[in-house]
Amino acid sequence: RKEVEQDPGPFNVPEGATVAFNCTYSNSASQSFFWYRQDCRKEPKLLMSVYSSGNEDGRFTAQLNRASQYISLLIRDSKLSDSATYLCVVNPNKLIFGTGTLLAVQP
Amino acid sequence: SQTIHQWPATLVQPVGSPLSLECTVEGTSNPNLYWYRQAAGRGLQLLFYSVGIGQISSEVPQNLSASRPQDRQFILSSKKLLLSDSGFYLCAWSGGSYEQYFGPGTRLTVT
């Protein structure tokens, strides 16, 4: 089983749609969690940290379910500029990156 | 604010040639530094990390090596490149938290 698993997509959604990504992790000792965004042929950029109580940053909401060992990212009112690969990252003792979920927002 | 630089941005090297990639961080002291590789269609793989000058930990056995000659400088090297060394090499830094921030990367093609 992979340490971090994500649906590779692609998720093709129209502008304005709400889209959700899930990610599961295998190491129950993981203590911190993140979502990164990676544009094509660019470096990953930190989108948001994921806290136990859930957190929101504008149109983005992240949730953590420790019991089921999954993390989610919800994007509301999708913009064309949201098109990217979203990487789920967990930290048992070092950052473990998922292979990413590709989002394509269509006009 | 902190910035991280990597060079070169792209590199094409023949098999068996040496490699030297450089990463420097500005605006912070005593950062933790990391080298990752991202192969086409695959996730980021941690290669090396460093918590201080001269302190290097290797995550994956390979023909690459890393050095940290100065607090904010991290170098990735190889004496003889293999075809399998092709990929996108990313340097990252972190401070007191677990969040890591990446440089722009070096795209290496070994021919």
Q: What is the pLDDT of residues B17-60, one digit of tens each?
A: 999 999 999 999 999 999 999 987 788 999 999 999 999 999 88
Question: Which residue in the set B100, B103, B105 is minimally distant from A95, CB to CB?
Answer: B100
Average pLDDT over residues B57-64: 85
Chain A: give the shortest CA distance to residue B98, in Å: 7
The residue among B39, B71, B42 whose CA lies nearest residue B55 is B71
Q: What is the pLDDT of residues B70-104, one digit of tens each?
A: 999 999 999 999 999 999 999 999 997 889 999 99
Q: Which residues of chain A have pLDDT under 70?
A: none
Question: Which residue in the set B42, B49, B100 is minimally distant from A99, CB to CB?
Answer: B42
Residue B40 has a pLDDT of 79
And the tokens for A38?
């990676």
- Are B7 and B105 in contact by the 8 Å Cβ rule? The answer is no
- Are B55 and B68 in contact by the 8 Å Cβ rule? The answer is yes
Q: Measured between beta carbons, which residues in chain B are less than 8 angstroms from residue A41?
A: 88, 107
